Chain A
Amino acid sequence: MPQSNPPVSPLAASIVVQNVRHCYGEREALRGVDLEVSAGQIFALLGPNGSGKTTLFRLISTLMPLQSGQMTVAGAAVSDVMAVRSRIGIVFQSPSLDKKLTVDENIACQAALYGLSGAAMRSRRDQVLQLVGLTDRRAELCERLSGGLKRRVELAKGMLHRPSVLLLDEPSTGLDPGARLDLWEALRAMAADGMTILLTTHLLEEADKADRLAILAEGQVIAEGSPDELQAELGEGLITVVSDDPAATEQIIREQLGVTVQRVQQQIRIQCPQPAALVPQLAEHLGASARSITVGRPGLEDVFIAKTGHRFWASADTQDE
């Protein structure tokens, strides 16, 4: 029997979110979110703190009941809690290990909760420990492991029962760059095997590695697509002008060059297909009032700024988590 193509239909392995709203009392955390994640994809939910991504994560992982809208995870409606739970694996942002137990015991505990036992459990455990590179530390108490190694045990727990959907909340928190690369390698391998992976992140460079991503801000999806698609929407070039008097500078650029600009704090941002032609003109018109004129290709932060009008990090004033 070929082992590479598991019999999971695309429909059964994906996440569908339709018009989901969620309120905490008066405050609306999600204001009509629509998403679709197909099988075998690594999908990132990118958003600053307070954007609603944790709320969405909790709804998808059946930690909170759905208030309004529709949501299907791995072919089952989220209201069918037990069905969804048996098909998903969850890696929480907060640690979920029992520090007084060894790595092996922690995983055995997880196995019992997902109906694995005996020889099947042991062989599965050997596999996941090998995958996360913890075979030689398996007999150690979890309290003796470093933060990064603990995260790897969490990951091993999440994928132990081979879920068709793996949900990870801020998976690379507390991981050093090397461990992050290992994590992504493991995620890639699992996605290649047909596992759907949804992760939340507030790190732009991490979202950049996903197959697709959705940017959340203030409870709404403001952009969705592959990282390349999203960046391509902004054109090839992006010019950033920093000046001491941005208002005046903005006026000069608008009136004398006839270019549309966007002002974000001290910065003035101009999207244009041929930045090379515009830069000398800018330098000429602005003279000494411009502290710097920078040319670059747009990144995800630029996508965020273009859609919301403010910087990614500055929008955390409605912090609530």
Chain B
Amino acid sequence: MQDNKGSGMKTDRSRRTFVLLLPFAAIGGMLATVASAAFRFLRPVVSASSEKWVDVAPVAGLSGNKPVARKIVADQVAGWARSLAEHSVYILPGKNNQVLSAVCPHEGCEVSWREDKNVFSCPCHDSDFAADGQRISGPARRGLDPLPSRVANGKLQVRYQSFVNNTQERIARG
């Protein structure tokens, strides 16, 4: 008699437990479904600089040892929008027409060429770079970043890239 009662209580209890677990499972299921969709939905989109080569200058006109400043317009896709962003670059005719990004590898200001001192100088934190882009002094941890370039139809072309700032290694973004 006593035994019967005990086991009866037990089944009843476990059934109650099960039934009470159901709503928690239901809420959990609903939340998990929406949360997983929300995670995928909100995950940042890769903002792709299009893999396009942009004309910088005709090769014929490039000579001498001084860096040549140029502006290029690169196409950038971010989600639903495409925008044309202007970037400053320097061509080094003395270094086989290598193209350097003017973005300072320290905090991302734009360096300018100082004719008087023969250096690239960053206006923000006074990093200086040699005429070939090598780091000379200041807080920057590496030299100016070269961009992929090529010559096609007599024109120097470049593919714009941005790099992770403030690292010793050069890591391209995107």
Chains A and B are bound partners: no
Question: Contact residues of B with A, CB < 8 Å?
Answer: none
